Structure 1
Amino acid sequence: MGYQKILVALDRSSHSEIVLEEAIALAKPNGAQLMIFHRLEVNDPDPYGYSDLHASNIARYSQIMQERLESELDHIRSWLDSCVRRAADQNITADWNWKMGDTGRCICQMAKDFGTDLIVVGRRGHQGVIEALLGSVSNFVVHRAPCSVLIVQSRESGI
């Protein structure tokens, strides 16, 4: 039994290139469809030091954040389109989607919505206290996914 619908979760790190290549390699012999997924993260919620907002600058702050979000979405769409083209170059049907929210939960929900039979996700190799503090998306997904999960280990992890 081969995989028919593969969800590949990418985070724009250099390791994501390896994760995408692994998903493409799995999809190709099975004729599987890929769903390329990214969890949108907008950094620096206080870019201009508006820690104490007053009524006079709330509108400006909102406008700045909206502009940042739109700019980030433009970059994400372009990047995801390039990922889809890489799959298409290998004759693999692929689409993309993004969400905002908790990464692990978003991946698991997308897997349910897409009818995924395999999730491909990377692991950066954090260990000990760092992993405890930051959490582990791959660990969350393994324990809560509605399907099989392939974790592509980072080569920098030293494991």
Structure 2
Amino acid sequence: MAYQKILVAVDRSQQGELVFNKSLEIARKNQAQLTIFHCLPIDTRENPAIYSDLYGQNLGNYARAIQEHLDREKEQTRQWLTAYCDRAVRSGVQADWDWQFGNPGRRIQQIAKQWQPDLIVVGRRDRNNIQELMMGSVSNYIVHRASCSVLVVQGSESQQ
């Protein structure tokens, strides 16, 4: 099967590089268009209570700190995805990129529904069943909801 439109979901791990390289190889062989996608999760691990006081006056500081963090993340993501896109174009592949905030599985599914790729390329880390139950699995979510072929690049960061 020849692919015309490939959606690749990457992150900043070493496996993200592997996933990108695999999708670029397939795109070159098929003369396919490539969309490089990254999802910035909304980090809720920080406890806003540490910024709070009895009257909530420090919540403004918390909001500013979160906004500054998001601004830095957005700029780093823009630079990083632009570099991937430039590599693809230099390899002779028509490419663009996109990013969104939120749940990675849901966002990948949404962009795939809009863009209608022939293939989605995602990575998978070696997580045991308990870890997947607690943390979820983006690749599993996509495999079970995609309306096109899905290539899951296997591996763990420690193997790369």
On whether the aligned pair clears a TM of 0.5, the verdict is yes
1:17 aligns with 17
Q: Within 1, Cα distance between the matches of 2:21 and 2:55?
A: 48
Structure 1 stretches of 4+ with a deviation exceeding 4 A read 155-158
User: Aligned residues, how many?
Assistant: 158
Q: Which runs of 5+ in 1 are unaligned?
A: none
TM-score by length of 2: 0.90
TM superposition shift of 1:46: 3.7
TM superposition shift of 1:50: 1.9
Q: Within 2, Cα distance between the matches of 1:152 and 1:82?
A: 21
Q: Which runs of 5+ in 2 are unaligned?
A: none
Q: Within 2, Cα distance between the matches of 1:48 and 1:77?
A: 31
TM-score by length of 1: 0.90
Q: Within 2, Cα distance between the matches of 1:69 and 1:22?
A: 29
Structure 1 residue 2 and structure 2 residue 2: aligned?
yes
Structure 2 contact 13–157 (Cα < 8 Å) conserved: no
Structure 1 contact 108–146 (Cα < 8 Å) conserved: no
TM superposition shift of 1:125: 1.5
Structure 1 pair 144–49 and aligned structure 2 pair: CA distance change class (3 A): same
TM superposition shift of 1:156: 5.6
Name the amino acid aligned to 1:136. Answer: S
TM superposition shift of 1:155: 5.1
Structure 1 pair 155–57 and aligned structure 2 pair: CA distance change class (3 A): closer
Q: Within 1, Cα distance between the matches of 2:3 and 2:141?
A: 22
- Note the aligned Cα RMSD (angstroms): 2.0
